[in-house]
Structure 1
Amino acid sequence: MSLILKEDEIHIRAINDVFSTGFDNIVSDLEILSRTEILQNYLNEKTEKNFNQLNKQFLLFSSTKRIYDQIRFIDLNGMEISRVNFHKGNPQIVPSFELQNKSCRYYFAEAIKLSKGEIFVSPLDLNIENDKIENPVKPMIRFGTPVFNSKGEKKGIIILNYLAQNLLDEIDEHKSDSRFQLMLVNQDGYFLKSDVNENQWGFMYPDKKEMTFQNQFYNEWKKINNEINGQFETDNGIFTFTTIYPISQAFQSSTNSIDSHNQSKLALSNIDYKWKVVSFFSNDILNYYLKEHVFQTYSIPFVFLLISAAISLFTANIIVKRKNADEKIKRALRALKESEEQFRNLLNYTYS
């Protein structure tokens, strides 16, 4: 059992490393895009030629990276100026008549306030198009930074919509045993990843806002939320957890409102932006595992013991039967010998 729990800790640490590395790579992509000569040309001079080159650059970047659902340039008024959709692996430049105003979205409100070099990272939530949550759901993290022309004037923001299912899939990749639950929980206790699909994304739906980790495991959440990592046992089972702080001090984030349409209510520091990776062995599963483990540990010697006992019993029966048979044979031989003697005596008596 201790080996399973130790392996559990290793997988959780590996998930932490994958998430941190993934964020670093995305931020690097954002910085590259925000500093390209093509973007600078458009910000300095908004000609049709420069606009077309910007669209083509976003298209090429989307085709190459294949991890961004959308790559956008949004102006100071919140209007999308250039947008490329990944479109299920077939990136496309979105025509102007389909572009939308995002001035009311929390990620725009937060990113547009930033200074040069600062980066906004949104909470992990579900993508919204035309004021509705996409179906099937599309987990998303938005990375944004302001961009400036050669005069130092802020002209808008670059936004990368990262397909966060790539990160969530890493959790499944590191789940080596189906007997335990592996969950990703945000700083408010909402499930971002759970074995129970109905528990996920409670903050995105008004009728699911009670579906939180703390409502299921109240006492355990107090410990998990207040500590960075650990492993402990309660009446519910064994919990192993660690805390992921995916954004550095140079980044900013915010809480998104329940409906994810309105502006955010609170700015988050890099310490506040955290996720909890939690592994849970329920007592029912644990008891089953222990019984199974004991059987696996002792079944082979026990089987050999049973076989040995059966062989011994069989051998003993044979020996007993053989002894009984030997006694019968001896008695028969004695009887035969006595009969022969009687027969000889009878013959001697007759001829005499």
Structure 2
Amino acid sequence: MSKLRLSKELFSIRMKRFSLLIIIALTIFSAVFILFWKLHANSVKEKAKYESIIETRTLAESTQNQIAFLSKEVLQLASLSSITKWVENNDSPEILHDIQRDLLSASKEKRIYNQIRLLDDQGLEIVRIDFDNDKGAQVVQEDLLQDKGSRYYFEETRSLMEGQVYVSPLDLNIENSIIEEPLNPVMRFGTPLYNSEGDFSGIVILNYMGGRILNLIRNKTSSLPGTFSLINDDGYWLINQVPEYEWGFLYPDRNKMNMSILHPTLWHQLGNKISQQTETDKKIITSKWIVPAIDNVVTRSNDWLAVYELDYSELGVSISDAFYRYFKFFIVLFPIMLLLSAFINQIVSTNKSYQLRLKRMALYDSLTGLPNRHLFYDRLANLVAAQGRTPNHFAILFMDLDGFKAVNDKYGHEAGDKVLKSVSEKLRILTRKSDTISRFGGDEFVLLLANVKNNENCGKIASEIVKSISEAILIDGNTINIGCSIGIKLVEDAKLKSTDSLLEEADQAMYQAKKNGKNRYEFASEEIIKNEESPS
């Protein structure tokens, strides 16, 4: 094994190990990131779900409290002494004047009612106080009073018992069959009036500036993440992020802007009058029904559904957020992972390199890089075992250099080492990759030739080796001539002899070549073996 081959092998091992370390590091990083991201996302979601419930509940309660307050207001106005007197004696001009005074005072003080009205038992306006922010509160002249007997809120309030309050649906104010511009949301709070004999005398009704409730809701939710909407119990939006979706029940061209039409599944789920929370793959939807009611008072009104939708992207826990944070952490941590992997790889590679060097020292000659005795015997054993499976011949060539001692004596051991390296390179060139070239020590080399047919093939290879080795070698400016003697043992059936005896026969043939004049090769034969075994 050459140093270049060893370096390539080490480089390949290091790169494979480094790549594996990077893959492991990325896998661990990804697994840990996913685990912590899920924990983080779940924690954020649970907190958001809890806060959504609190916000929706708080908003619903404040809205209900406002409606309850307004319901009590209309009852208080109905109990004014001037109105109580009018119920018993509605023909007195002085009483009407007192009512105008009292209702005007209430309108100026509250500043939240568009109108405060007293209607008689036929629905005719007896007293009406109008209010706007520019003109303030004003008593409407008698000739401008209107007949409201056919309006739904009169009929609804008239049907109640004393002490009950009618709360109208939240809608837009309509004057002369035209929706007032700019839009003026209105809620009407009415209570019936009965005289001491139990006869119906009329109603007191407040036109509350409904926009105040809507603005209250918008202001409280404007700073919150997500979107908030308010829907009446017919499925029409009173508050929506898209204004064109609002008040669909009052505009013919918006009649289909209804949750039951646009989102039937969600409406079916939310429309069961139960406060709940739903989680989809993209958002958290929290809903609560707002039911106008006050203690001991029956109200008749449309209920409202408050819906709070919180998108995961606004919480920073969506899939895109996960990829963004993963990429951000990856950019920061990847160089660290590279350095750590490189450090670990260096430690492991150094240890592996040391092990490979130990293996090389144990199996390869340190000077020439050729297999040593141990590896030669291992390869020989493999050929013997393989011959037992497939009847292929192999050969052992035992080679000893001629004239090498003189080189050491004349030019020194350093020059001798260079000669040995030169011989090794020549042998590599002349043999196949499947063959084994081994240095046994000193100037002895042993070759294993796999899959040779006969002695003729072996002789041809040996002849080329002898010719190549005998060519002059230039070492440090000196021309050096050496030769080699080779003993050949063709192994046709290795089971008949041991590996040591096979090697011994090749060795004896090599000595016979030296006796016959050197710089040549000889085949192992029974005659040579007998001559070597006989006493000298």
The TM-score normalised by the length of structure 2 is: 0.50
Of 105, 120, 130, the match for 2:176:
130
Deviates more, 1:227-236 or 1:46-55: 227-236
2:150 to 104, 107, 123: 104
Unmatched segments (≥5 aa) in structure 1: 255-272, 313-352
Tell me, yes or no, if structure 1 residue 56 matches structure 2 residue 91.
no
Which of these residues, 61, 77, 99, is aligned with residue 122 of structure 2?
Answer: 77
Q: Give the direction of change, closer, same or farther, for the CA distance of 1:178–1:195 in structure 2 (3 Å limit).
A: farther
The equivalent residue for 1:232 is 278
**Residue equivalent to 1:117:** 163
Q: C-alpha distance in 2, partners of 1:94/1:294? A: 66
RMSD: 3.0
Deviation sequence 1:14-35 (CA, Å, 0-9, x none): 1111111112211111111111
Give the Å deviation of 1:242.
Answer: 1.0
SS in 2 for 1:204: coil
**8 Å Cα contact 1:180/1:282 also seen in 2:** yes
1:91 counterpart SS class? strand
1:31 aligned residue (72, 75, 78): 75
Q: Please say if residues 140 and 164 of structure 1, whose CA atoms lie closer than 8 Å, have aligned partners that are also in contact.
A: yes
> Within the alignment, does 1:250 sit opposite 2:297 as a pair?
yes
What is the CA distance between 1:237 and its match in structure 2? Answer: 3.4
Instruction: Identify the residue that residue 258 of structure 1 maps to in structure 2.
Output: none
Q: Distance in 2 between matches of 1:297 and 1:41?
A: 77
Aligned partner of 2:62 in structure 1 is: 18
Question: 1:180-199 counterparts in 2 under 5 A?
Answer: 180-199=226-245
- Alignment match, 2:522: none
- Residue 173 of structure 1: how far off its partner (Å): 2.6
Sequence identity, in percent?
32
* SS of the residue 1:11 aligns to: helix
CA separation in 2, counterparts of 1:169 and 1:101?
31
Displacement of 1:215: 2.3
Pair 1:68 & 2:97 matched? no
Amino acid across the alignment from 1:85: D
Residue by residue over 1:212-235, the C-alpha shift from the partner in whole angstroms, topping out at 9 and shown as x without a partner, is 112222211111112511211236
Aligned amino acid, residue 208 of structure 1: R
Query: Aligned partners of 2:303 and 2:97: how far apart in 1?
Result: 39
Structure 2 unaligned segments of length 5 or more: list them: 1-43, 340-536
Contact 2:130 2:137 in 1 (8 A): yes
Counterparts of 2:212 and 2:65 in 1: how far apart (Å)? Answer: 13
In 2 relative to 1, CA 35–293 (structure 1 residues): closer, same or farther, beyond 3 Å? farther
> CA 1:298 to 1:244, structure 2 compared with 1: closer, same or farther past 3 Å?
farther
* Counterpart in the other structure of 2:217: 171
Tell me the CA shift for residue 41 of structure 1: 2.3
Task: State the structure with bigger RCO (CA 8 A, min sep 6), 1 or 2.
Answer: 1
Q: CA deviation at 1:276?
A: 0.8
- 2:291 maps to amino acid: Y
SS at match of 2:249: helix
C-alpha distance in 1, partners of 2:68/2:196? 27
- Structure 2 distance, partners of 1:178, 1:291, is 22
Counterpart residue identity of residue 68, structure 1? Y
* Cα drift, residue 105 of structure 1: 1.0
Equivalences, count: 293
* Alignment partner, residue 357 of structure 2: none
Amino acid at match of 1:253: R
The answer to whether the Cα contact below 8 Å between 2:229 and 2:308 also exists between their aligned partners in 1 is: yes
**Residues 104, 29 of structure 1: alpha-carbon distance in 2 compared, 3 angstrom cutoff:** same
| Maintained 8 Å contact 1:244/1:276 | yes
1:30-62 CA-partner distances (Å, limit 9, x unpaired): 111111111122333332221111111111101
Give the greater-gyration-radius structure (CA).
2
CA contact (8 A) 1:73 1:156 kept: yes
2:84 equivalent in structure 1:
40
Residue identity matched to 1:70: Q
Alpha-carbon distance between aligned partners in 2 of 1:101 and 1:293, rounded to the nearest angstrom: 64
Find the counterpart in structure 2 of residue 145 from structure 1: 191
Q: Within 5 A, what are the aligned runs for 1:286-325?
A: 291=320
Aligned to 2:406: none
Q: 1:88 to 1:302 in 2, by over 3 A?
A: farther
Q: Equivalents in 2 of 1:152, 1:237: separation in Å? A: 56
Q: CA deviation at 1:297?
A: 11
1:11–1:174: 8 Å Cα contact kept in structure 2?
Answer: no
Between 283-292 and 40-49, the greater mean CA deviation after superposition: 283-292
TM-score for both structures, normalised by structure 1: 0.74
Amino acid at match of 1:12: T
